[in-house]
Amino acid sequence: MMKSQEIRQSFVDFFAAKGHRHLKSASLVPHAFSTTMFTIAGMEQFVPVFLGDEKPQAARAVTVQRCLRVAGGKNDLDNVGRSGRHGTFLEMLGNFSFGDYYKREAIMWAWEYLTETLQIPAARLYATVYVDDDEAAEIWHRDVGMPRERISRFREDNFWDMGPTGPCGPDSEIFYDLGPDVGCGRADCGVGCPHCNRYIELWNLVFQQYDRDSSGELHPLPRKCIDTGMGFERLCMVLAGKTSIFDTDLYQDIIQKLPRPQGTSHLNSDEAEVQKRIIADHARSAVFLAADGVTPSNNDRGYVMRFLIRRALSGGRRLRLHDGFFSELVEPVVATLADAYPFLAPEQSRIRKVLAAEETVFDNTLTKGELHLEEVLERARVHPDKVVSGQSIFMMHDTYGYPPELTAERAKESGLQVDLPAYRTLMDEQRNRARRDAKEKRAEVRVQSATTVDLPGSDFIGHEQLQGSARILALYDGSGNAVEVLEENQAGIIVLDRTPFYAERGGQAGDHGVIAAGAATFSVSDTQYQDKKYQHIFHRGSVSAGSLHAGQKVEAVVDPVWRREIRRHHSVTHLLQRALKDIVGDSVAQRGSAVYPDHTRFDFDAPGALGKEQEREVESRVNELIRSDYHRSVATMPFAQAVERGAIYMKGENYGDIVRVVTFGPSVELCGGTHVESTGEIGHFILASESAIAAGIRRVEGVVSDSADRFFTRFRSAAEQAGAVLTTPPEKLPETVARLAQERRELEKHIAALQSEIASAHAQSEIAKAQTVGGVPYLAIRVAGAGALKQFADAIGERWRSGVLALAAAENEKVSVLVTVSDDVVARGVSARKVLDAMMPFVAGRGGGGATNAQGGGKNAAGIEDALAAVPESIRSQTLA
């Protein structure tokens, strides 16, 4: 039986023999103009080629494309691990023709590969075609020899698109019959059967011939193309004689590495297997997302990554797997995929750190969520039906990040029911809102791109000059509407046929300056590419004098000071990356940057924070490179040649076949930005700050030139002022401040000890004042100062073991309240949270907690006495209940 690595290679070899060029997989993070959050299909990297905006690298191509699908329909997350055929991460085998061959070759070669190369029995294969595609149906019957009864016609299922807009066309799908044992047994069971999964879609042959616009209208593409996609995981399943993708080596090699449970799981054997499959699938997704530069966060792609990791971690908790198990799966995941994706192995250590950091964050989230979960369970216990509502489950998940599966399990352990259908309804509503927002956003991008579709591109001349003559191609008002003229004081956008203005790209901010014609002047406050095809440059600003007309000849002049400082900060960013690699190690890899005229920001992979000594070494190394006065060298060359030369490039970025390489001595990078002539021009570099922005990613900020002078002046002034206040020379400030800090710590210890003594003495006298209500002792006391609240509670707790203690204090008009209830009183039905809830309205506050401890804050200090007076009535009502 062929292993997965052999199957993958056989596909590439087959089409390479048919004249196809093997192109590498694109990142899971698609190009900036994509309408999808992640790469979801093999054809996605070729969209500009299909649309005619870019020339193909070859007339025929073959790829093995990594994809991530997490949204709706057939690939809904609820199906992952349960259906046997759906996963979030998948590999798409594809062959492509860009105006070369068409339907007959695509169908015939697919049939040849499946039946001859892989030896799949022809009798188990079926075909579908678009409802009126007689041509494809005839090829299947006449040329392939497939009986007509095994060729089905569908409408929606046989028309492929990657979203609401973009390339699309009819398709022909190849299905595999898994056998009657998998079927429903109905007489009419066949391809597309809604009752069973006997017939599985294996390969989709798309005949790309249309471009759908935002109104839904179809326009012919410049050339007819072939775009095929075969699910690699499903192919491995078929060849292994299995009925689930999770029974192949792609997943089993990961599942077998799961650790032994630590304790008894409440899951039955079937659900336990589902959770193992989910963990294996999500581990594959998380590893590739991390490899492609995504990190867990609460936004966009990072949110999806965090969701997948936490879903897997939740499954691990339910299986009773030890903490840290998920990051341990990086090794087996990489082992199953490294042959096809060699860049994974060098990234393995960093990926593991990213996942381990998220495990720690999630563990902290669960710890905080436990407090709120206890409140939810407590409310459910007094509910007539003993049920945790769907709204509560949704709130725990949406607000506190607590997984619904864990909420349900905790409820079950407490003898409670859960309203999961109501929770799912709320989640569906939230997902639908998100999809509508995303759809509107994608449609908006597409509509905006249409505004310049008939304009020639803007020619950038700013690498060589800061001023140049140009002609106005188009004008837009402040709302983006095309106009013929912009009047004085009117905000708008100008598009020129050629421009020295650098449009924001690669982290470098767009240029400022003026566009003028005679007495008419347009002040440019920002320069941007209108779309991510980098064709049309938008000069944004306003008319400060006169008026400008479409077609008019103008002079475009970049602000020389702005450009000078931008160049210096951009060039030092290159030197900074070189220095970080020299000092920290070659594992440093850029994850983002932002270059402005007054500072630069650089984000990079790192195993941890830079130590102060490392910061000094990096700063020193950058200044050494500056003083070496390396002259700039710029060359264009093929991407592969640049990489061979050791050029640094940013992962996840899409580079063309020909790239621009900027060199300053040992610093060699791919870059299209503007730079100094030599490093000596930069002046002096100061590393201003270093911080964490995500798991495994650090950020450094620095300044040079005029900004460095201002930075130094501010620090010197601050040091002189501090020295004057402390009556010490600036150079003696560190030891003086250290001495004062030590003296303060000693004073704070002394004050704390005195406060403890006072609290202890006060506590003894207050305990004697305890009263009883409903047979429950209680103390309701106003404390002087919120800082003493906890100390006073501890002092009383050491001497008074049974009862209800309610303390309140006010400081700077803010109220603090603390309630504790001993275990024996809790057993009688009294809850600290309910006592707190009775007090909060009087102090205009809110709080939280559980049965034994609760605390809150308020804004109405005048209501403290009334709040304390409400304590006995709350205790009485609880004991009566």
End-to-end CA distance of the chain: 69
Mind listing the domains of the chain with CATH numbers? 4-247 (3.30.930.10), 269-444 (no CATH), 454-558 (2.40.30.130), 564-719 (3.30.980.10), 759-880 (3.10.310.40)
Q: How far apart are CA 878 and CA 837, in angstroms?
A: 12
pLDDT (0 to 100) of residue 839: 94
Residue 222, classed as helix, strand or coil, is strand
Give residue 574's identity as a one-letter amino acid code: H
Residue 86's pLDDT band (boundaries 50, 70, 90)? Answer: confident
Do 616 and 361 touch, CB atoms closer than 8 A? no
Neighbours of 866 (CB within 10 A): 13
Exposure string of 119-141, with b = 16+ CB inside 10 Å and e = fewer, is ebeeeebbbbbbbebeebbebbe
Scan for tokens 């046997």, then name that residue. 84
Q: How much of the chain, in percent, has pLDDT values that exceed 90?
A: 53
| pLDDT tens column, 712-747 | 999 888 888 988 998 899 888 889 999 998 989 899
Give residue 376's identity as a one-letter amino acid code: V
Between strands 151-154 and 125-130, the pairing is parallel
Contacts of 18 (CB under 8 A, 6+ apart): 60, 95, 109
Closest CA to 689 of 602, 765, 799, 572: 602
Closest CA to 604 of 699, 506, 701: 699
Mean pLDDT lowest among 33-47, 183-197, 380-394? 33-47
| pLDDT tens column, 445-478 | 333 443 555 678 889 999 989 999 999 999 999 8
pLDDT (0 to 100) of residue 266: 79
- 657 phi and psi angles, rounded to 5 deg: -65, -40
Structure tokens at 745: 């710590």
pLDDT (0 to 100) of residue 73: 42
Q: How far apart are CA 281 and CA 867, in angstroms?
A: 53
Give residue 241's identity as a one-letter amino acid code: G
Structure tokens at 105: 């070759």
Q: How far apart are CA 200 and CA 232, in angstroms?
A: 13
Exposed/middle/buried for 280, CB within 10 Å: 0-12, 13-18, 19+?
A: buried
Q: Which residue has the higher pLDDT, 564 or 443?
A: 564
Which H or E element spans position 5?
helix 4-16
Give residue 739's identity as a one-letter amino acid code: R
Neighbours of 851 (CB within 10 A): 19
State the average pLDDT over residues 233-242: 94
pLDDT (0 to 100) of residue 302: 84
